[in-house]
C-alpha cells in the first residue's frame, strides 16, 4: 500500500537517530501522513478512469528508490550526521505532504466529473436523443383536439364515434334549451358535456364507475351525472329525425342488398330484419326484481330491433320490457307490428328468426319437425334467409360494441323513475348509433362489405375473436332451425308466402 511504502521510505531516510525528540517529531509527522492517506483511500478505493482498484495500479506501488511524482530523487545516505538526517527527513516529509495533497485534489476533481456524468445519465435515461411526441394535455378540451389531430385511435377509444359524427352531433344539440341557464355559473361547453356522456356510454364494468370517469374528465362526480342528463334530453329531441321507417333511400339500398345476397329479384322486397337482445343490468332491480330475470339467467331489459339489412340503421325498436318477456311478445309492441299494413306494402316483408310467428309480412326459417329432419331444399332456404337476416345480429353487435354500457347497464332500477332513466339511456344509444352510421354513409362507408365491417370494429378496438361473424355458418343455420318444436304459431298466408319464396330461391340456384 501507498501508506506503508511512504512510511518505510520516511523511516529509512531518518536513519537510527538516538535523539528522542527527533524520533517523536518524525513519528508524529508520519501519523499525520497516514491519517491523510487513509482518508484519501477511503474516498477513492478504485480508479475511475480504468475501473481497477488502486492496489493494482503502478502509481500506488512506487519503487524504493523513487518517490511518487518525483523521479530521480535519491534516498539519503545512511552515513550522514544526525542533524543532516533530521533536516533531510523534514524536507522529504514536506514534499510528500504536498504531493499527497495534489494527488488528493486531482482524484477529487475526477470523482466530481464522473459524478456529474452519472447524474446526467440517470436524469436523461438515454445516451442518445430521442424524438418523442408531446405528452397529452390535462384539460378535457385540449385532450379532444389532441386526440383528433394526433391520436385518432385514442379518440375512438374514448369518444366511440368518428370525429365528423361527433361535431355533427354537437351542432345538432348545442342550441337546445337544456344547455341554457340563468345562473351566474356558466355551463361547460356543449362539446365537453357530450364528450363526457359518450365516454361514459362507451364503458361498462369497473370502467363505468363514476369516479373513474370524473378523473378522466377532470370534473366532479356530480358534473358527470348532470352532463349525461342534459345530453340525453337533447339527443332524445332528435329521435324522429334519427329513427325513420320509410326512408326511401334506405329502402332501395336494403332491397338491392337482399337481392344481391339471395341471387334472385323475388327476395329483394325483404329489406328489413328483426330480432331481440337482453340488456343486462348490473344488479337485481329493487322494483319488481324477479320479472327482470330472463331465460339467459340474468336480470335484464328486453330490446327488440328492426334494421335495414344493408346499412344496419335501426328503423324501429321497442325497449323496456323485463327480461322475462319472450322475443315475440316484446315484438308485438313495435310500431311495425301494430301498423304493418300502413308501413309495409303488400309485397314487402321482414326477415326474422324461428322465435317469431310466421306471417305474410314476417318470414321465418323452417323449423326442424318433431322426430324428423329438414329437407335439403328447406336447409338451403334457411341458409339464404340467414345470410340476409344476419344484419340484425350485426346491428346488435355494433350497438353493444360501440356503446359498451349496454353490455351491463349500471342503473339500479329501484322505482319507475329509474326504469324510465334506463329506457332513456338505451334510446339515446340507439339515436347515436343511427347518427354515426348516417355520418359514415356520407363518406361512402359500406357496411355490407366485410372489409369495411372489419375496419369499423378495428377502430373500436374489437379483438378478432370477439367480432360478430360476417356470414352465418351451416352450424348456426341448423341450430337456429332447431329452436322450437315445429311450426306451432303460423298463419296459412304465411306458409303460402314462404313456399313461394322457397320455389324462387331454388329456381335461382339451378
> Which pLDDT belongs to residue 480?
61
Distance CA 202, CA 58 (A): 72
| Short-list 77, 78, 96, CA closest to 30 | 96
Report pLDDT for 485. 41
Q: CA–CA distance from 470 to each of 245, 310, 342, 451 (Å)?
A: 25, 12, 32, 10
Q: Is the confidence at residue 225, as pLDDT, over 80?
A: yes
Q: How far apart are CA 264 and CA 260, in angstroms?
A: 7
Find the range with the poorest average confidence among 78-82, 282-286, 287-291: 78-82
Rounded Cα gap, residues 418 and 399, in angstroms: 22
Residue 114: band (very low, low, confident or very high) from pLDDT cuts 50, 70, 90 = confident
Which grid cell is 12? 529509512
Cα torsion angle, 321, 323, 329, 332, sign:
positive
Average pLDDT estimate for 484-490: 53
More confident residue, 63 or 375: 375
pLDDT of residue 470: 63
Per-residue confidence (pLDDT) for residue 478, from 0 to 100: 62
Per-residue confidence (pLDDT) for residue 251, from 0 to 100: 96
- With a cut of 90, say whether residue 139 has pLDDT above it: no
Set of cell numbers at residue 94: 514536506
Buried b (16+ CB within 10 A) or exposed e, 98-124: eebeebbeebeeeeeeeeeeeeeeeee
Checking if the pLDDT of 269 tops 80, the result is: yes
3-state secondary structure of 335: helix
Tell me what pLDDT residue 119 has.
79
Span 109-114, mean pLDDT? 84
- The DSSP H or E segment spanning 76 is none
Computed over every residue of the chain, the mean pLDDT equals: 82
Residues near 327 by beta carbon (within 8 Å), at least 6 away in sequence: 275, 276, 302, 304, 355, 356
* Whole-model pTM over 0.85: no
**What local confidence, expressed as pLDDT, does residue 52 receive?**
47
Checking if the pLDDT of 214 tops 70, the result is yes
pLDDT given for residue 125 in this prediction? 59
Q: Lowest mean pLDDT: which of 108-112, 253-257, 403-407?
A: 108-112
Q: Is the pLDDT of residue 502 over 80?
A: yes
**Residue 502 CA to its chain's centroid (Å):** 46
Could you tell me which residue, 254 or 84, shows the higher pLDDT?
254
Residue 389 has which C-alpha cell? Answer: 337476416
pLDDT reported for residue 89: 56
Domain boundaries, the chain: 135-240, 245-415+462-508
Scan for cell 323513475, then name that residue: 417
Q: Are 347 and 361 in contact (CB under 8 A)?
A: no
pLDDT of residue 3 exceeding 50, the answer is no
For 343-357, letters b (16+ CB in 10 Å) and e give bbeeebbbbbbbbbb
pLDDT higher for 56 or 99? 99
Separation of alpha carbons 267 and 109, rounded Å:
91
Q: Where are the beta strands (DSSP E) in 309-429?
A: 314-322, 349-351, 362-363
Residue 63 has pLDDT above 70, yes or no: no
Residue 506 confidence (pLDDT):
95
pLDDT digits over 383-405, tens only? 999 999 999 999 999 999 999 99
pLDDT digits (tens, 9 = 90+) for 436-475: 999 999 988 888 887 887 888 888 888 766 666 666 666 6
- Split at pLDDT 50, 70, 90, the class of 18 is very low
Are 400 and 407 within 8 A, CB to CB? yes
Which pLDDT value is given to residue 25?
A: 54
Count other Cβ atoms within 10 Å, centred on residue 382.
Answer: 25
Q: Which of 66-70, 134-138, 266-270, 402-406 has the lowest mean pLDDT?
A: 66-70
Q: Which of 176, 198, 171, 199 shows the shortest CA–CA distance to 187?
A: 176
Amino acid at each position: 500500500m501507498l501508506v506503508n511504502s511512504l512510511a518505510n521510505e520516511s523511516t529509512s531516510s531518518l536513519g537510527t537517530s538516538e535523539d528522542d525528540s527527533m524520533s517523536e517529531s518524525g513519528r508524529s509527522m508520519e501519523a499525520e501522513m497516514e491519517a491523510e492517506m487513509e482518508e484519501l483511500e477511503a474516498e477513492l478505493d478504485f480508479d475511475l478512469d480504468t475501473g481497477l482498484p488502486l492496489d493494482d495500479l503502478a502509481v500506488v506501488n512506487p519503487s524504493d528508490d523513487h518517490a511518487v511524482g518525483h523521479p530521480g530523487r535519491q534516498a539519503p545516505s545512511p552515513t550522514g550526521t544526525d542533524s543532516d538526517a533530521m533536516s533531510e527527513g523534514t524536507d522529504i516529509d514536506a514534499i510528500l505532504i504536498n504531493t499527497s495533497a495534489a494527488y488528493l485534489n486531482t482524484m477529487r476533481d475526477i470523482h466530481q466529473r464522473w459524478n456529474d456524468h452519472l447524474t446526467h445519465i440517470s436524469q436523461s435515461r438515454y445516451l442518445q436523443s430521442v424524438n418523442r411526441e408531446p405528452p397529452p394535455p390535462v384539460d378535457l378540451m385540449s385532450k379532444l383536439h389532441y386526440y383528433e389531430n394526433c391520436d385518432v385511435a385514442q379518440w375512438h377509444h374514448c369518444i366511440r364515434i368518428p370525429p365528423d359524427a361527433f361535431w355533427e352531433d354537437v351542432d345538432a344539440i348545442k342550441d337546445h334549451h337544456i344547455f341554457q341557464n340563468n345562473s351566474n355559473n356558466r355551463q361547460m361547453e356543449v362539446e365537453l358535456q357530450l364528450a363526457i356522456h359518450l365516454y361514459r356510454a362507451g364503458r361498462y364494468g369497473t370502467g363505468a364507475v363514476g369516479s373513474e370517469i370524473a378523473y378522466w374528465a377532470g370534473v366532479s362526480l356530480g358534473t358527470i351525472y348532470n352532463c349525461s342528463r342534459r345530453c340525453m334530453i337533447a339527443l332524445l329531441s332528435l329521435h324522429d329525425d334519427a329513427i325513420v321507417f320509410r326512408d326511401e333511400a334506405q329502402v332501395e339500398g336494403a332491397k338491392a342488398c337482399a337481392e344481391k345476397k339471395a341471387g334472385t329479384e323475388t327476395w329483394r322486397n325483404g329489406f328489413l330484419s328483426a330480432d331481440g337482445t337482453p340488456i343486462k343490468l348490473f344488479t337485481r332491480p329493487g322494483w319488481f326484481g324477479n320479472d327482470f330475470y330472463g331465460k339467459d339467467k340474468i336480470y335484464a331489459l328486453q330490446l327488440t330491433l328492426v334494421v335495414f339489412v344493408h346499412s344496419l340503421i335501426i328503423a324501429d325498436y321497442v325497449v323496456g320490457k323485463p327480461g322475462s318477456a319472450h322475443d315475440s311478445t316484446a315484438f308485438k309492441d313495435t310500431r311495425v307490428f301494430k301498423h304493418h299494413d300502413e308501413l309495409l306494402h303488400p309485397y314487402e316483408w321482414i326477415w326474422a328468426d324461428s322465435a317469431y310467428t310466421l306471417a305474410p309480412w314476417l318470414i321465418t326459417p323452417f323449423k326442424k319437425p318433431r322426430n324428423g329432419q329438414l329437407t335439403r331444399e328447406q336447409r338451403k332456404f334457411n341458409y339464404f334467409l340467414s345470410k340476409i337476416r344476419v344484419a340484425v345480429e350485426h346491428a346488435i353487435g355494433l350497438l353493444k360494441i360501440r356503446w359498451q354500457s349496454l353490455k351491463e347497464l349500471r342503473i339500479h332500477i329501484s322505482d319507475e323513475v329509474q326504469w324510465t332513466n334506463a329506457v332513456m339511456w338505451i334510446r339515446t344509444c340507439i339515436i347515436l348509433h343511427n347518427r354515426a352510421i348516417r355520418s359514415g354513409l356520407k363518406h361512402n362507408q359500406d357496411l355490407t362489405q366485410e372489409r369495411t365491417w372489419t375496419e369499423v370494429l378495428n377502430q373500436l378496438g374489437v379483438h378478432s375473436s370477439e367480432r360478430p361473424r360476417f356470414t352465418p355458418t351451416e352450424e348456426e343455420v341448423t341450430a337456429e332451425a332447431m329452436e322450437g318444436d315445429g311450426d306451432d304459431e303460423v298463419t296459412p298466408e304465411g306458409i303460402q308466402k314462404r313456399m313461394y319464396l322457397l320455389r324462387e330461391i331454388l329456381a335461382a340456384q339451378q
